[in-house]
Chain A
Amino acid sequence: MAGKTEIKVKIAADGSQATLVAPPGLDAALLKPENLIFQVKAAGVLIDQDVERNVAAFAAAYGSGNSERSDIIARSLPAVHGEDGRVEWQQGFDPRPQHAPASAERTDHYQGQHYVPVKTGDTVGMAHGPTGGTDGRDVRSGVLKARSGKPIAIKFHPMLTIDSGGRIIAQADGVLVLKDKELSVTQSLEVPGHVDFSTGNIDFPGSVTIAGGVGSGFKVTAGGDLHIGGLIEVAEIRCGGDLIARGGMAGNGRGRLRVTRNVQVVYLEKVVGALNGDLIVEREITDCKLVVGRDLRCPNGTILGGEITVTGALMVKAIGSESYTPTVIALGDVPLLQGAHVKVAKTIEQINTMLGQFAEQARLIKLNPRPSPADKERLTEISYEASQQNQELAKWATKLSEIETAVRTQRKLDVSVAKMIHPGVKFYIGECVVLFKTAAKGPLWICWDEQRHLMYKTSSGAARPLSEIAQVSRGHSAPAAEGPARAAAA
């Protein structure tokens, strides 16, 4: 039919549109809308109001037919595909890795998994299921099938439930972890291998167990205890509980350790750090700068080089080496409380300065025999402010007294060396410096007597003045080089 009339209806292969084509010079009778509609319908195109309107417009536009005309007169209605299921995270509960807001070209490869603490009953997000979508149709009225959305790509551990409203609710206290597309709440984190680029840095509020070691440049922060199965390289370790390392730590001068409680480790080499509790080392401590809040026990190992401050007892097999390695140990001091002491003392000083200023202001006002009402009000203000500051002063003075009591209680000198103190070893004990110029054979014990004289004992004899085996001088302060370790403590 189209060939005889020379009017053509072209339909796109995918049925998305139909085009009416008319060559020039056609008889006007052929271009009547009803004729055109007949042809369009015959071609299989669904006729609706839009098509009728488009055909009428086509006929009108063809006019006297001076040139060929080609218009799209029907279009398909595309399918609206369904949306994939998704989780809309509540603010502050998104457990996905939070990369540093660096430029788009720079990615922090050390950045690791992100952990979010949750409490039972917390709504961590909303689960939105997939939608089905809406089918479309082509110009011939054929169905264009809509694709349904995919289910949520995250599996939910039983420690999280989804209520009828789609709320994702934590069923236990812990940390929200999204790992291997599973969302769970966990109280402890297990790293099956090493901490390296495959894991990134670890920063976890609870306890952490690392089966392997910790690579150079990585940071591990555990809010609770930390177990490390392998070697710790030039890494930064921060632990809110005990650190138990089955290997050693080779810090190369840049490895950092900050532990709130005790540390148990095979060896420490060139590590800077501080811990509030006991340090137990299986083998040697080499070239470390450490502040130990309580006892240091290394009964089968040597402290060789470095600067170590020990608040409590020191038990070690040997100190220093035959090659006169300078080894500095500060004892009878409570460095971890000294910072607090200095801070509190400074606050007290500031309050006293302020009180002095108030007193001076009041004195100046009172010099006037007839103070104005404004002066009298100012005197009232001064009196009130001074009274407030006096209350603060009393509070801080109590705090200072508590710290001083704690320092007195914790400070002790209890050194036990099983085998040898080598020449070149220097002890800072209070205001005394004890320098060993010759080797002192163990077992020997160093302590204070009742008059706080420095004494030593061997297994065979009574306590003797320490000055008999080492050079003891007074009037020296503790080594300044404790700085980095103190900084780590801070």
Chain B
Amino acid sequence: MRVLVVDDSKTMRNIVKGILGTIGATAIEEAGDGQDALSRVDAFKPDVILLDWNMPVMDGITFVRAYRAKNKTTPIIMVTTEAEKTRVMEAIQAGVNNYAVKPFTPESLSKVIETTMAKAAAKKAA
């Protein structure tokens, strides 16, 4: 599983990387904001993108809109402190596949990733 982790906090990226290491990620690419992520995504070709919402330069929701304009299938999981219903709806409408609210535990994030990947695989098979 190839994972692109987009978060402006290096600590948070390291935490997510640590969790990904326990669920079989084979390659992990990091980006510090949405624009950085856009510049890496074509070359890296991730299987899933873990995305923070609030970031400098380009925030997560803007990245989703820009990325979905050219890629409809790669699952995106928003990993954020934005837990209000309107925000969640906004993200889903923009093209986010799943949502993990901070604070999360390693187990809860792992579960969200696994569920998302299983759904994506089922969709692909269909």
Task: Please give the residue numbers on chain A whose beta carbons come within 8 Å of chain B beta carbons, in ascending order.
Answer: 373, 376-384, 387-388
Judging by beta carbons under 8 Å apart, are A384 and B81 in contact?
no
**Nearest chain A CB to B45 CB, angstrom units:** 27
Task: Please give the residue numbers on chain B whose beta carbons come within 8 Å of chain A beta carbons, in ascending order.
Answer: 9, 11-12, 15, 18-19, 54, 81, 101-107
Q: A377-B103, A379-B102, A384-B18 are in contact. List 18 more A-B contacts (CB 8 A).
A: A373-B81, A373-B102, A376-B101, A376-B102, A377-B102, A378-B103, A379-B103, A380-B12, A380-B15, A380-B104, A381-B11, A382-B103, A383-B104, A383-B105, A384-B106, A387-B105, A387-B106, A387-B107
Judging by beta carbons under 8 Å apart, are B9 and A377 in contact?
yes
**Nearest chain A CB to B123 CB, angstrom units:** 29
Judging by beta carbons under 8 Å apart, are B103 and A376 in contact?
yes
**Nearest chain A CB to B53 CB, angstrom units:** 9
A388 to B21, CA, bound (A): 13
Which applies to chain A's interface (DSSP): helix, strand, loop or mixed?
Answer: helix
**Nearest chain B CB to A364 CB, angstrom units:** 14
Q: Which residues of A contact B103 (CB under 8 A)?
A: 376-380, 382-383
Q: Which residues of B contact A383 (CB under 8 A)?
A: 103-106
Judging by beta carbons under 8 Å apart, are A376 and B19 in contact?
no
A190 to B11, CA, bound (A): 58
Give the residue of B12, B18, B102, B104 whose beta carbon is less than 8 angstroms from that of A388: B18
Q: Which residues of A contact B105 (CB under 8 A)?
A: 383-384, 387
**Nearest chain A CB to B114 CB, angstrom units:** 17
Name the residue of chain A whose CB is nearest to the CB of B109. Answer: A380
Known pairs A383-B105, A384-B106, A387-B106; A377 contacts B18 (CB<8 A): no
A383 to B18, CA, bound (A): 12
Judging by beta carbons under 8 Å apart, are A376 and B106 in contact?
no
Judging by beta carbons under 8 Å apart, are B81 and A376 in contact?
yes
Q: Which residues of B contact A381 (CB under 8 A)?
A: 11-12, 15
**Nearest chain A CB to B12 CB, angstrom units:** 6
A376 to B81, CA, bound (A): 6
**Nearest chain A CB to B50 CB, angstrom units:** 13
**Nearest chain A CB to B51 CB, angstrom units:** 15
Known pairs A384-B15, A388-B18; A377 contacts B106 (CB<8 A): no
Q: Which residues of B contact A382 (CB under 8 A)?
A: 103
**Nearest chain B CB to A376 CB, angstrom units:** 4
Q: From B15, B103, B105, name the one whose CB has the most chain A CB atoms within 10 angstroms.
A: B103
**Nearest chain A CB to B107 CB, angstrom units:** 8
Name the residue of chain B whose CB is nearest to the CB of A366. Answer: B103
Q: Which residues of A contact B104 (CB under 8 A)?
A: 380, 383
Name the residue of chain B whose CB is nearest to the CB of A384. Answer: B15
Q: Which residues of A contact B106 (CB under 8 A)?
A: 383-384, 387
A320 to B101, CA, bound (A): 74
Name the residue of chain B whose CB is nearest to the CB of A382. Answer: B103
A388 to B15, CA, bound (A): 10
Name the residue of chain B whose CB is nearest to the CB of A378. Answer: B103
A383 to B19, CA, bound (A): 12
Q: Which residues of A contact B102 (CB under 8 A)?
A: 373, 376-377, 379-380
Name the residue of chain B whose CB is nearest to the CB of A379. Answer: B103
A44 to B104, CA, bound (A): 102
Q: Which residues of A contact B107 (CB under 8 A)?
A: 387
**Nearest chain B CB to A253 CB, angstrom units:** 54
Known pairs A383-B105, A384-B106, A388-B18; A377 contacts B12 (CB<8 A): yes
Name the residue of chain B whose CB is nearest to the CB of A365. Answer: B103
**Nearest chain B CB to A105 CB, angstrom units:** 55
Q: Which residues of B contact A380 (CB under 8 A)?
A: 12, 15, 102-104
Q: Which residues of A contact B9 (CB under 8 A)?
A: 377
Name the residue of chain A whose CB is nearest to the CB of B9. Answer: A377
Name the residue of chain A whose CB is nearest to the CB of B103. Answer: A379
Q: Which residues of A contact B19 (CB under 8 A)?
A: 384
Nearest 4 interchain pairs by C-beta: A379-B103, A373-B81, A380-B103, A376-B81
Q: From B18, B102, B104, B105, name the one whose CB has the most chain A CB atoms within 10 angstroms.
A: B102
Name the residue of chain B whose CB is nearest to the CB of A386. Answer: B105
**Nearest chain B CB to A279 CB, angstrom units:** 48
